[in-house]
Structure 1
Amino acid sequence: MQDYETHDCPYCGEPVTLALDASAGDQSYVEDCQVCCRPMMVVVAFDEADAPHARLRREDE
């Protein structure tokens, strides 16, 4: 099952939609911004209801 979340790119501030794979568990990976192509660190964690939530940060943070 995939959920979708929209966040602002930590570099250019443009909205970026991410597909979150709930079957993959907690994860972190690098994905390029769809607008400015800079690498963002994506950290996916699950809340008490097993719903995935993503956080984006600059790769150099």
Structure 2
Amino acid sequence: METKPNKAFSSIKQGLEEALKFSEGKAGKVNIHKLLTADTQQQLEESFFHKKNNKENSNDLPE
């Protein structure tokens, strides 16, 4: 039975090996996750709330 530290190490090792293969162009199918930065998230929220608050004043926004 694998202990938690060993399982964590194995998972990290696997991820690093996959990243190395990807960087060398040798990876098969991979999933790339792009996270929003804090600034991007804030801009999206401000844009959403701005549109929501100005909905009554604009005819081009959907219902």
Larger Rg, first or second structure (1 or 2): 2
In terms of fraction of residues, the more helix-rich structure is 2
TM-score (norm 2): 0.26
TM-score (norm 1): 0.27
**With CA pairs under 8 Å and 6+ residues apart, which has the higher RCO, 1 or 2?**
1
In terms of fraction of residues, the more strand-rich structure is 1
